[in-house]
């Protein structure tokens, strides 16, 4: 039988390969003096923001850790802090390489599209493999330490729940804060630069252009890394809890081995992409081949583990259902964000202007929710029929088993986006910008696919964790005829909308300040529009930083406060009402998240489709309309939407950790 030791080996291997790829990226040429200067400005801006974000977040981490210390256990408080530290570390390390890979990708694009893809994907792979490596090592170390040294004092499952909640805690702050930062800068830069001033995207005359590029890294890289770190750790937690109920220590071992062998499959997939990436390779084809290779290898590993560890073939089909659902969501997302729907939106931009652009994008986003939910529903049924409640957890783990390559594909997008900006600002030849634009357009699609994976896994993981909550509070069923359950479900269904409202309004308020500042500089700095003077980039970076830090607290507080408020508001029936709240939030949150992610990405890519010369190309009325659509979609796809899956799981995790203790006390 396989042992826990092999899991440590795979976790360390993931970090070693990440380090190796990071060294390869650093050794690449960073371009001319102008490119180096721009890249360093982005690095410093991103690092400065993250440090300030972490300072603000640390206050709340300390407060919440103290609450856990006194109400539950000091050991759980320590595991909670460990979860926050490793989550922060995974996001920061991925961002550090991404901000160094951007200029090098632009430089590589001077050689060929394949070389640019190789550099950008290597940079993204550092994020993917760091997240999975730290995620598995932190989780298994916490569990085994608690099992061997603390089991007489506290249940190891409670300790690992604290670790997972720490990862979720950081992820919500990072996603919301980073999302507000990046989209406020993006919206401000586009509205004034593209629409009012009529200058190209990433034009160095635009004062918000550095803040925009910094935002790609703090929101779409560091924020996304913390987000998927949380998803990964949460899926493992659900599997460990339900696996221990179903098969004892063998069930726990099985879950960690799935994650470990999934890392190995991801490394094989990453290396496949790097071997293919050369010359004028089709980037989409290269990334798809790597993803398919990783998943095929993962399926073979999962079969072996099901037969040798659990001796239950049903668990294999449960895992397989998650893999299939994940791939299905990915390809459905790919269609709606890069297929025929974006041409329909582009056509609407040319015929009816901004209004029909927004209407058609909304329609595409709404339609895109149906098939993913069908696949998730079928996956839940298949997983349950083959392996019970443990099967649902396994489906979520199966969906994230190859997170290493899925996140690598996702994280490459912001690097390609930054590379295009550096190419534009440093005046590189047109063919370079054309190559980076190809990578950037694909990056929008891969980012949407990554969000789809995260949302789908959130649904399965939250459902599995909800089952654990029900067991912990002796809730045998959810009675939808109970007024308390219905009331809770209605409140829970409304929470994702309230959360999204706060997030989007924060972007709007900060973007307004950005617009005013960009306009002021255009009017007050002599020679700026003629390229004879430099804009004050730091002022715009400061506006995004202040806006993000100020506005990220309120939305994040919802996830922590809502379970307690619901439990105490309904008192005697609190655990029932809270069960309804979690179900309502799960259903509405998943639908809303998929809608916002896909609508935003389809608006963005329809704009890029027009910029390629279709329907009048850049500067046309269709282009102006598409920019408005892209601006509307930005906070949906990069702020509110991706934060919802964290909201759902954090509420369940808080409930799972605290409410059983409160039930006993009351």
Decide: helix, strand or coil at residue 388: helix
Domain boundaries, the chain: 5-665
Instruction: Say how far residue 558 (Cα) sits from the centre of its chain.
Output: 19
pLDDT at residue 260, rounded to an integer: 96
Q: What percent of the chain has pLDDT over 70?
A: 99
**Minimum mean pLDDT among 96-100, 310-314, 474-478: which range?**
474-478
Give a three-class secondary structure readout of 356-378.
Answer: HHHHHHHHHHHHCCHHHHHHHHH
* 579 touches 469 (CB < 8 A): yes
What would the pLDDT profile of 473-490 be if each residue is shown by its tens digit?
888 778 888 999 999 999
**Minimum mean pLDDT among 39-53, 122-136, 481-495: which range?**
39-53
CA distances from 509 to 81, 491, 504 (A): 32, 27, 9
Q: If we measure between CA atoms, which residue out of 469, 490, 464, 485 comes closest to residue 584? A: 490
* 387 touches 397 (CB < 8 A): no
Mean pLDDT computed over every residue of the chain: 89
pLDDT at residue 266, rounded to an integer: 96
pLDDT at residue 158, rounded to an integer: 93
Q: Is the pLDDT of residue 67 over 90?
A: yes
pLDDT at residue 448, rounded to an integer: 67
Confidence of residue 210 (pLDDT cuts 50, 70, 90): confident
Confidence of residue 2 (pLDDT cuts 50, 70, 90): low
Q: How many angstroms separate the first and last alpha carbons of the chain?
A: 45
Q: Is the pLDDT of residue 1 over 70?
A: no
For residues 132-142, give the mean pLDDT.
96
For residues 48-59, give the mean pLDDT.
88
For residues 309-326, give the mean pLDDT.
91
For residues 566-575, give the mean pLDDT.
91
**Minimum mean pLDDT among 81-90, 282-291, 315-324: which range?**
282-291
Residue 149 burial (10 A CB sphere; 0-12, 13-18, 19+): exposed
Q: Is the pLDDT of residue 588 over 90?
A: yes
Q: Is the pLDDT of residue 444 over 70?
A: no
* 18 touches 94 (CB < 8 A): no
* 457 touches 399 (CB < 8 A): yes
What would the pLDDT profile of 217-231 be if each residue is shown by its tens digit?
887 788 888 888 988
**CB neighbours (10 Å) of residue 152?**
5
Place of tokens 């007024």: 483
Q: Is the pLDDT of residue 140 over 90?
A: yes
Q: Tell me the DSSP string of 207-239.
A: TTHHHHHHHHHIIIIIIHHHHHHHHHHHHHHHH
Strongest mean pLDDT among 310-324, 403-417, 424-438 = 310-324
What would the pLDDT profile of 641-654 be if each residue is shown by its tens digit?
888 988 998 899 99
What would the pLDDT profile of 233-271 be if each residue is shown by its tens digit?
999 999 999 999 999 999 999 999 999 999 999 999 999
């Amino acid at each position: 039988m396989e042992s826990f030791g092999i899991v440590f080996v795979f976790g360390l291997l993931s970090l070693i390969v990440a380090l190796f790829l990071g060294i390869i990226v650093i050794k690449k040429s960073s371009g001319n003096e102008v490119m180096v200067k721009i890249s360093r400005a982005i690095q410093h801006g991103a690092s400065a923001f993250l440090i300030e974000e972490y300072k603000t977040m640390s206050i709340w981490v300390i407060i919440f850790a103290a609450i856990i210390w006194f109400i539950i256990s000091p050991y759980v408080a320590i595991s909670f802090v460990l979860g926050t530290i490793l989550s922060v570390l995974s996001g920061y390390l991925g961002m550090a390489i991404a901000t160094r890979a951007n200029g090098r990708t632009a430089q590589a694009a001077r050689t060929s599209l394949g070389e640019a893809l190789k550099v950008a994907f290597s940079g993204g792979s550092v994020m993917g493999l760091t997240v999975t490596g730290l995620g598995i090592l932190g989780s298994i170390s916490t569990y085994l330490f608690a099992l061997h040294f603390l089991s007489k004092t506290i249940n190891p499952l409670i300790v690992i729940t604290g670790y997972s909640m720490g990862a979720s805690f950081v992820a919500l702050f990072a996603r919301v804060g980073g999302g507000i930062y990046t989209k406020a800068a993006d919206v401000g830069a586009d509205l004034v630069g593209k629409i009012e001033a009529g200058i190209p995207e990433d034009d160095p005359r635009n004062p918000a252009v550095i803040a925009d590029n910094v935002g790609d890294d703090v929101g779409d890289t560091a924020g996304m890394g913390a987000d998927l770190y949380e998803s990964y750790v949460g899926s493992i937690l659900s599997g460990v809890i339900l696996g221990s109920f179903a098969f004892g220590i063998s069930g726990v071992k099985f879950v960690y081995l799935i994650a470990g062998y999934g890392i190995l499959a991801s490394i094989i997939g990453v290396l496949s992409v790097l071997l293919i990436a050369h010359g004028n390779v089709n980037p989409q084809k290269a990334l798809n081949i790597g993803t398919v290779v990783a998943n095929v290898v993962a399926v073979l590993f999962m079969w072996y583990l099901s037969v040798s560890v659990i001796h239950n073939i049903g668990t294999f089909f449960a895992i397989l259902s998650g893999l299939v659902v994940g791939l299905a969501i990915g390809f459905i997302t790919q269609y709606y964000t890069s297929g025929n729907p974006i041409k329909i939106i582009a056509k609407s931009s040319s015929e009816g202007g901004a209004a029909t652009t927004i209407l058609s994008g909304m329609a595409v986003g709404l339609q895109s929710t149906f098939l993913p939910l069908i696949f998730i529903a079928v996956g839940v049924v298949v997983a349950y029929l083959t392996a019970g409640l443990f099967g649902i957890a396994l489906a979520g783990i199966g969906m994230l088993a190859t997170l290493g390559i899925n996140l690598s594909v996702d994280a490459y997008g912001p690097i390609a986006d930054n590379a295009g900006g550096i190419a534009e600002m440093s005046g590189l030849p047109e063919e370079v910008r054309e190559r980076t634009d190809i990578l950037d357009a694909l990056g929008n699609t891969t980012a949407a696919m990554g969000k789809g994976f995260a949302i789908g896994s959130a649904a399965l993981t939250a459902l599995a964790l909800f089952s654990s909550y029900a067991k912990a509070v002796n809730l045998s069923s959810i009675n939808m005829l109970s007024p308390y359950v219905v009331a809770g479900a209605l409140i829970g269904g409304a929470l994702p909308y309230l959360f999204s409202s706060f997030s989007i309004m924060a972007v709007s308020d900060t973007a307004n300040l950005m617009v005013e500042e960009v306009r002021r500089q255009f009017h007050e700095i002599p020679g700026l529009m003629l390229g004879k003077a430099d804009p004050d980039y730091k002022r715009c970076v400061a506006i995004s930083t202040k806006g993000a830090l100020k506005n990220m607290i309120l939305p994040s507080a919802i996830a922590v406060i809502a379970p307690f408020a619901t439990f105490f508001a309904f008192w005697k029936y609190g655990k029932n009402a809270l069960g309804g709240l979690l179900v309502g939030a799960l259903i509405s949150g998943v639908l809303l998240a998929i809608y916002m992610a896909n609508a935003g990405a389809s608006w963005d890519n329809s704009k890029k489709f027009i910029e390629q010369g279709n329907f009048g190309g850049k500067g046309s009325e269709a282009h102006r309309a598409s920019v408005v659509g892209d601006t509307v979609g930005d906070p949906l796809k990069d702020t509110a939407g991706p934060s919802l899956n964290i909201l759902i799981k954090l509420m369940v995790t808080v409930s799972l950790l605290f409410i059983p203790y409160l039930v006993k006390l009351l």
